[in-house]
Structure 1
Amino acid sequence: MSFPNMSSIRLSLREHLDSDANDYYNLLSDESAVRYYGRNTIDSLSEAKSEISALHTKYLMSESIKWAVILDAKSVYIGSVGIKDFTNQHHRGTLSCIFSPRYWHFGYASEALKLVIVYAFETLKLNRIQAYVDPINVRAMSLFKKLGFSCEAILHEYEFERGRFIDIAILGLTKNK
């Protein structure tokens, strides 16, 4: 099964490669990058390599697709976007994205997610995509709203992160809206 590569004016989205391990480690070991990503930082390059291998396996098993986001002008890894839980009877999936803080505020997340949204609706034939966002993450809330998502609910004290319970906003977008 061939991995679905995509591109825009400034970005290429492709499968994570073993050669991305250092960049992937740098991204996921950066506390400011993972602060709202719903996970802890990683501790080693070997953990990054294991995760990249797991991404490939999850793709082959149709559990998720996670693209490496490459800034074409510099041929540099700047982040990752993905969609998971898309093989279900309900025709929906959940988006995720994480970018290196040095590439925030340039519109790269929006550009990459637009490609993933089109892929989700046109290729995966989903009817709905959603994102789970910490509502205090104003940049992410704004990003998804600019992409057409609406905030459908706030799940109070839904996740336990960094020693405390946090709220999570569910943002949704359907194919026909």
Structure 2
Amino acid sequence: MDCLNKEFPVISTERLILREATAEDAEDMLRYLSDERVMQHTGMDPFGSTDDVLEEIAWYQSIVGEGTGVRWGITLKDTGKMIGSCGFLNREARHFRAEIGYELSHDYWGRGIAGEALRAVVQYGFSQLRLERIEALIEPENGPSIRLVERNGFLREGLLRHYEYTQGKFDDLYMYSLLKSDRM
């Protein structure tokens, strides 16, 4: 991935450090990735072990290596504790677009942390990855995620019926997008 071929980019915000997730973060990550409330709208089952988390970290590393995405661990500046992740996947560099995804420990919901991380990652995508379009695919039942992207300027483009097959069922997903020109 351009801009990522030397060193993993670290992003600092008022309360957060967005950085590469490592094996040392596995216990922190297991706390939120094993929570049914956090995983409810991800299309994945709650994680059961640190081995599951290490596989997720390996996936984060693989998408950077393949140039198809980048996932930052959301850590608190004051403690260094990892409480979630946010980043891009399914990046299509030749089309200047990528999907954004995120999850956050339930203990930190409602504090503006997801929005703070989302804004920083979106800014990085437009400025450093030269994205023109950032997409968010969200289950219609996921009201908090819908409110998050709408508060941050994403527009709902439509409903993708039976777009994914996860956990033994077909899922409808709303397609949201944010264009670089929407932010100016």
TM class by shorter-chain length?
over 0.9
Amino acid corresponding to residue 8 of structure 2 in structure 1? F
Contact 2:38 2:104 in 1 (8 A): yes
Amino acid corresponding to residue 70 of structure 1 in structure 2? T
Amino acid corresponding to residue 93 of structure 1 in structure 2? A
Residue 51 (structure 1) aligned with residue 56 (structure 2): yes
* SS across alignment from 2:170: strand
Amino acid corresponding to residue 157 of structure 1 in structure 2? H
Question: Kindly tell me: are residues 2 and 132 of structure 1, through their superposed partners in 2, closer, same or farther at Cα, counting changes over 3 Å?
Answer: same
Stretch moving more, 43-52 or 161-170: 161-170
Q: TM-score, normalised by structure 1?
A: 0.94
Counterpart-to-counterpart distance in 2, 1:15 and 1:174: 26
Once the two structures are aligned, what percentage of the paired residues are identical?
32
Deviation at 1:163, TM superposition (A): 4.2
Deviation at 1:18, TM superposition (A): 1.2
Cα distance per residue 1:11-67 (max 9 Å; x no partner): 000000110011122221111101011222222211211221232232122121010
Q: TM-score, normalised by structure 2?
A: 0.90
Cα distance per residue 1:63-86 (max 9 Å; x no partner): 210100011123221100010122
Partner of 1:80: 85
Question: How many residues get paired?
Answer: 177
Runs of 4+ in 1 over 4 A off after TM superposition: none
Partner of 1:109: 114
Partner of 2:139: 134
Contact 1:86 1:126 in 2 (8 A): no
Amino acid corresponding to residue 171 of structure 1 in structure 2? Y
Partner of 2:129: 124
Partner of 2:23: 18
* SS across alignment from 2:53: helix
RMSD: 1.4
The runs of 5 or more residues in structure 2 that have no matched partner are 1-5
